[in-house]
């Protein structure tokens, strides 16, 4: 169990804004060294300055989490600068919506590259380093409450987040058996006021959305409206800090949260072997 954070090192992807930035700040408040990774150079520079102003050493590493060599370079830069890494937050994520049969291969590729491969690369490059260190470490993979339910017009996002949760559960089991000094959590946020509705700003040119459909536009307008007045990302950072302290795997909303009700409906569908219930959260 990690109780003393001071002097230890945290690496966060997607750290230039939203949940990632709040994670960086809350770790800094505990006296940790912080490595902020993001694909946006200007925002990353601003975030590093904001975190460093809290009185800790912080560095920024421009990182494309969908590229294994980029995440390998992030791991090397972190260890070269600070000597070790005790906390890894595979947090970067993107979103697009629409009807599954209208969405393009590039839509699938983009979300899978960031939401799935970002975690895969983080595991492949940081876990061996953490095992080598032999000290108490913790990995936090950001999934979503979308991993615990299914809703229309966000199918690719749901798919990638289900994969993120399953991968995290498997990692939990494997590390429990092979390297129990490394704990794992999976962060499953409800709607949060982040920049995910505008994540297409970082979509690679080779995967650009050339012909957006009407349903895509409607779904993006919906997620923009839904996140605008939703939970502040600081609340998620506080949940993560508590989970690391208590070695809690599932980082979930409060039990009475509408997303928990929706997730429970899906579990009931499975239990009763009934067809999927359309039970969107009452938000």
11, containing H or E segment: strand 9-13
89, containing H or E segment: strand 87-90
Of 49, 18, 28, the residue nearest 236 (C-alpha): 18
The neighbouring-strand residues paired with 140 are 89, 185
Active site residues: 157
The tokens for 230 are 């939703």
Cβ atoms of residues 131 and 182 within 8 Å: yes
């Amino acid at each position: 169990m990690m109780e003393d954070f001071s002097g230890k090192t945290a690496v966060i992807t997607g750290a230039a804004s939203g949940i990632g930035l709040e994670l960086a700040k809350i770790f800094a408040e505990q006296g940790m060294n912080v490595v902020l990774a993001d694909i946006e150079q200007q925002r990353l520079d601003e975030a590093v300055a904001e975190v460093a102003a809290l009185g800790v050493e912080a560095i920024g590493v421009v990182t494309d989490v969908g590229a294994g060599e980029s995440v390998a370079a992030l791991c090397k830069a972190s260890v070269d600068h600070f000597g070790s890494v005790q906390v890894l937050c595979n947090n970067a994520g993107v979103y697009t919506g629409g009807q599954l049969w209208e969405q393009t291969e590039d839509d699938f590729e983009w979300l899978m590259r960031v939401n799935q491969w970002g975690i895969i690369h983080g595991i492949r490059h940081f876990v061996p380093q953490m095992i080598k260190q032999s000290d108490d470490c913790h990995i936090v993979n950001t999934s979503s409450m979308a991993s615990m339910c299914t809703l229309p017009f966000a199918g690719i996002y749901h798919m990638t987040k289900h994969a993120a949760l399953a991968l995290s559960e498997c990692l939990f089991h494997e590390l429990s058996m092979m390297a129990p000094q490394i704990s794992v959590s999976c962060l499953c946020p409800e709607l949060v006021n982040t920049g995910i509705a505008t994540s297409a700003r970082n979509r690679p040119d080779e995967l650009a959305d050339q012909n957006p459909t009407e349903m895509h536009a409607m779904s993006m307008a919906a997620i923009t409206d839904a996140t605008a007045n939703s939970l502040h990302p600081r609340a998620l950072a506080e949940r993560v800090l508590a989970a690391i302290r208590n070695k809690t795997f599932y980082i979930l909303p409060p039990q009475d949260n509408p997303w928990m009700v929706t997730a429970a409906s899906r579990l009931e569908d499975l239990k009763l072997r009934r067809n999927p219930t359309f039970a969107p959260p009452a938000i």
